[in-house]
Amino acid sequence: MKTFQNPIIPGFYPDPSICRVGDDYYLVTSTFEYFPGVPIFHSRDLVNWCQLGHVLDRTSQLNLDGTPCSKGIYAPTIRYHQGVFYMITTFVESATGARRNFYVTTTDPAGDWSDPIWLEDAPGIDSSFFFDEDGTCYCMANRRPPGGQEYPKHMEIWLQEVDLKNGKLVGDSYSLWDGALKQIHAQEAPHLYKINNYYYLIIAEGGTGHTHSVTIARSKTITGPYENCKRNPILTHRHLGRDYPIVNVGHADIVETQAGEWWMVCLASRPYGGYYRNLGRETFLVPFCWEDGWPLVNPGKGFIEMEMSRPSLPEHRWDTQSACDHFDVPYLGDGWNFIRTPRGEFCSLTERPGFLRLKLKPESITELCNPSFVGRRQQHINFAARTAIEFEAANENEVAGVVLLQNNDYHFRMEITQNVEGKVIRLIRREGGVETVVAEREITANTQRLYLKVEAFEQDYSYYFASKAEQWQTLVENVDGRILSSDVAGGFVGAYIGMYASSNGQKSENVADFDWFEYLPV
């Protein structure tokens, strides 16, 4: 094929950062309150990507206890230098909202990464590394200008040398640039490059919403002064309007291929059913060239398209991943996540081989906690997801089933439970912390196993159940799914769908066993 489809990594995979090592490309994205943190992807053609795992996959690396929704891990950067991979990121703490920056290292991006090395006195978010030609490592992020903010959310980019041997910042801290356009707030996401004797500084401006953008400046010396590109912003979609199929474009990183082409990865969203972005901020790819010493993105057009010409690289496809996880191996696949750092032995793939067993925890998904939940991203506007569950509730407090999640206060729970009349299945909508039972049906079949299904066609989400395979009964159809968008719920994440169990504040020895889980675009 001579073209590719955007996004290259669909679903909630924001803030992409990329590096090339020979013929191989590696990419990481943000994860906020989800665990494991920072998925890492591998490609050889910039179009087809395979997830290698997660950078932060051990509890010793990432403590998300009590982390509010859309806090936690922000905007990682991946870089490679002299045989070592570096991933630096910001951790936004739960209690104070303080920003702390740390990095981890490895020689094998698919293997174990080190425990965090925290950089003291490194303010701001979206931290990044740059290795100069002499091997010196520099850190950059954003901060409030030392002279004070001239307008709300006015930020600047700072730079300081890093002593990698001792894991600390050294020398003076320099103010580099506070952006291309005044009053366009939230200067962030800095990445620095040395190209043709210039230091180029790419940042994001305008916030990560509709007015997001990519801007650039350059200097002959690393500490500046930095010259503003007169074509700034070099990429944005804010002028295309809210009806354009790709919106809030920004937060970019660039890479040169071995064929000499230049490409940019960035985040953007696909709204549908109005200006609603259930899928969150996704990873897109766009070409650029150099003209008069500055990047010219998608020459002749200047914006990202859904279908674009491929890079001049040999196509490299990876093995096709199964749409159905049968839970036949003793570990979870890379597409699954927990909410916050998993605490307690609530999830098992070995206690009943061939099943994912969730133990009922007292914690509920409505709390800022680590509930008994295993989920994956919604990656398509139209999709179908189904599972087989074996569960018998002992009382009305015990529930298990499927959740479509934006956050603890905005979600749908299709759960099996017990009431005074017997076994029931119900759909609960939680919006702004207020719960409504959308539908409830009595389960008359004398069976422990039930099949659950969710189908979404744009913003119409339909819910079904069955006591025998493929003999579906309607729970409720065409429920408005817009509460799964951050445009309603707030925050920075995309929608998840997953398996859930809870005893809602009570101690319980009960379990819910899921035989398989299937997710398909439709």
Average pLDDT for 31-55: 98
pLDDT at 420 over 90: no
Q: Which tokens hold the place of 163?
A: 């002593």
Summarised one tens digit per residue, pLDDT across range 133-153 is 999 999 999 999 999 999 999
- Is the four-CA dihedral 365, 366, 370, 371 of positive or negative sign? negative
According to DSSP, the residues that pair with 18 across neighbouring strands are: 27
Q: Does residue 328 sit in helix, strand or coil?
A: coil
> From edge to edge, which strands make up the β-sheet containing 434-442?
372-377, 496-502, 399-407, 410-419, 422-431, 434-442
Q: Choose which CATH entry (3.40.640.10, 3.40.50.300, 2.115.10.20, 2.60.120.10) describes domain 10-226.
A: 2.115.10.20
Tell me the pLDDT band of 95, cut-offs 50, 70 and 90. low
Q: Where in the chain is CATH 2.115.10.20? A: 10-226
Residue-level pLDDT at 96: 73
User: Is the per-residue pLDDT at 516 higher than 90?
Assistant: yes
**With 90 as the cut, is the pLDDT of residue 94 above it?**
no
Residue written as token pair 């769908």: 497
Terminal CA-to-CA distance of the chain, rounded, Å? 22
Q: Which band of pLDDT confidence, cut at 50, 70 and 90, is reported for residue 404?
A: very high
> Which part of the chain is CATH 2.60.120.200?
324-521
Residues annotated catalytic, as ranges: 15, 188
Interacting residues of 62 by C-beta distance below 8 A, sequence separation 6+? 35, 36, 37, 56, 73, 341
Q: Which residues contact 265 (CB under 8 A, 6 or more apart)?
A: 8, 16, 17, 18, 27, 252, 253, 254, 255, 283, 284, 285
> Which runs of E-coded beta strand occur in 107-187?
117-119, 128-131, 137-143, 156-163, 168-177
According to CATH, what is the number of the domain 324-521?
Answer: 2.60.120.200
Tell me what pLDDT residue 93 has: 86
Q: What is the pLDDT of residues 429-472, one digit of tens each?
A: 999 999 999 999 999 888 899 999 999 999 999 999 999 999 99
For residue 80, give both structure tokens.
């490679």
Separation between Cα atoms, residue 466 and residue 416, nearest integer Å: 12
What distance in Å separates the CA atoms of residue 117 and residue 102, rounded to the nearest whole number?
5
How confident is the model over 22-37, as pLDDT tens digits? 999 999 999 999 999 9
pTM above 0.85, yes or no: yes
Q: What is the mean pLDDT of the chain?
A: 97
The Cα 187–Cα 250 span in angstroms is 11
